Amino acid sequence: MTKVDKPEAGSVRRPAPPLTERQEARRRRILHATARLACRGGFEAVQMREVAESSQVALGTLYRYFPSKVHLLVATMQDQLEQLHGTLRKSPPAGETAADRVAQTLMRAFRALQREPRLAEAMARALTFADRSVSPEVDQVSRQTTAIILEAMGGLENPTPEQLSAVRVIEHTWHSTLVTWLAGRASIAQVQVDIGTVCRLIELTSADG
């Protein structure tokens, strides 16, 4: 049985104050070290002591930033998505419709994760293990994914409730296809078909609006 170091279920942290420039640099070192370890050995390779040593921070300091391995890996996924978002801004999708652009964007994100399957597996497992105590990190992942989808749709400033609902369903499908692909239950071709199918919801909600 896999041992997962995480706080008791149901515990919720208070919002942390904004980080200083030095603290932000330390946090980034921690996330980069986590990604490197996960790329080499997946979920099991990410041990808090190893992350602390690799990022040159004290173990107690690491725990103040991230109370558990699950918090750490979910935050790493948010960081990876943020980097991807920056890349997409430099080279936006060129599809004719919003559905085409979103499908193209999500497949680019999928292929970026495909290049580092152990990292992708570690982050996906962390999302699966996440309880209420990891809500801030999970919410960040969701917000980042939503921002990527909305920007691909055309940068909607005031999406309707129906459009936001479609975005949530698309997001859920994208995460689900990632998990099924990592488990060997879906091919890349199947993933592409499913992503393309769910993105048609965008056309339906646009027509309704």
pLDDT of 19 strictly over 80: no
User: What tokens does 196 get?
Assistant: 């393309």
pTM: 0.84
Give the separation between CA 28 and CA 177, rounded to whole angstroms: 28
Q: What is the pLDDT of residue 7?
A: 46
Q: Name the residue among 102, 103, 112, 117 with its Cα closest to residue 181.
A: 117
Using pLDDT thresholds of 50, 70 and 90, give the confidence band for residue 14: low
pLDDT (0 to 100) of residue 205: 86
Please report, rounded to a whole number, the percentage of residues in the chain having pLDDT higher than 90.
Answer: 74
| H-run or E-run covering 76 | helix 69-90
Q: What is the mean pLDDT of residues 42-53?
A: 96
Mean pLDDT over each residue of the chain, to the nearest integer = 89
Q: What is the pLDDT of residue 185?
A: 94
Residue 3 parent element (H or E): none
Which range (124-128, 129-133, 182-186, 203-207) has the least confidence? 203-207
| Distance separating alpha carbons of residues 101 and 75, to the nearest angstrom | 26
Q: What number is the average pLDDT over the span 125-135?
A: 93
User: Mean pLDDT, to the nearest integer, of 102-118?
Assistant: 92
The confidence band for 116, taking pLDDT boundaries of 50, 70 and 90, is very high
Q: What is the pLDDT of residues 134-187, one digit of tens each?
A: 999 999 999 999 999 999 998 777 889 999 999 999 999 999 999 999 999 999
